[in-house]
Structure 1
Amino acid sequence: MELRSVEELMDLLYACRGTWDMPDRARPPVDLHDHALRTAALLRRGRPADKELHVAGLVQPVGGLLWPGDPAGRADHTADAVRALLGGRVSRLVRCCPRRDAPADDDLLTLRQASEEGRTAGFDAGVLEDWRTVLELLAARNARLGAVD
């Protein structure tokens, strides 16, 4: 599956509301929609200028909705789905985030930390519509660059 528009991605993110990810007994279940918003908000607070990092945090939970029966392959599927729309860096971050054996650069460590904190953090992370403009800007920039990254 390849996402072709911001509207299609927004629809998927909205569809995550009420979908619970229950990864294992060590971590509590989390609503994918809330997790996406909290993770992106935490990343925006920590690295305000890094829109691609924010968006990687926002879109990574989509895999739990689209591929619920394939937890091991979710990150790869999600990365492939967003690459053409959002670019290589967002795709790489989404692909490598859950892997503990992936090369640990500062961006990945920050994304992993925000994703974990976003599972349980209790704060108002805003609404999904707040992210539409950022997604549109990244998609437009990526279209101009031709997904090279």
Structure 2
Amino acid sequence: MELRSVEELMDLLYACGPGGAGADGQAHALRTAALLRRGRPADKELQVAGLVRPVGPLLGPGDPAERAADAVRPLLGERVADLVRRRPSAGADDDTLALRGAEEEARTACFDPGVLEDWRTVLELLAARASRLDAPG
């Protein structure tokens, strides 16, 4: 499945929430993205990678990270897809380490990360940027 609009992605992210297929996936994703926003405020692609990683299990069988990366690539671009796909490890680069650290911290962090709707504008901006980069010419 390839996501073609921010609305499709938002629907999947909402499905990760309480009562959805992902149980607590949405809350964890929001905390991860919020932690990345605090630590790397200028890196919107890294923040969004932390937000969208939980959609993978909702996309069917197979490796969830691969499924999520393939789904978001046409909408959010290659860098976000690469960040979503990577399995963080000790030998990985700084971005992957930041993502892994935020995911780990988000498991036990207790703070209000806001709501999913807070991220719509950032998703729209990244989608518009990715669309321009993919445009011929």
| CA offsets 1:52-93 (integer angstroms, 9 cap, x no match) | 0000000001113333x54xx110110000000000000000
Q: What is the SS of the residue equivalent to 1:93?
A: helix
| Cα distance between partner residues in 2 of 1:20 and 1:35 | 14
Q: Which structure has more helix as a fraction of its residues?
A: 2
Matching of residue 36 in structure 1 with residue 36 in structure 2: no
Matching of residue 119 in structure 1 with residue 111 in structure 2: no
Structure 2 residue identity aligned to 1:62: V
Q: Which residue of 1 aligns with 2:82?
A: 92
Q: Percent identity?
A: 70
| CA offsets 1:84-135 (integer angstroms, 9 cap, x no match) | 0000000000000x3437x500000000110111122111000000000000
Q: CA RMSD in A?
A: 1.8
Matching of residue 77 in structure 1 with residue 67 in structure 2: yes
| Structure 2 unmatched runs, 5+ | none
| Cα distance between partner residues in 1 of 2:21 and 2:121 | 26
Normalized against structure 2, the TM-score is what? 0.91
Mapped contact 2:35–2:106 kept (Cα < 8 A) = yes
Q: What is the SS of the residue equivalent to 1:56?
A: helix
| Cα distance between partner residues in 1 of 2:110 and 2:59 | 26
| Structure 1 unmatched runs, 5+ | 22-29
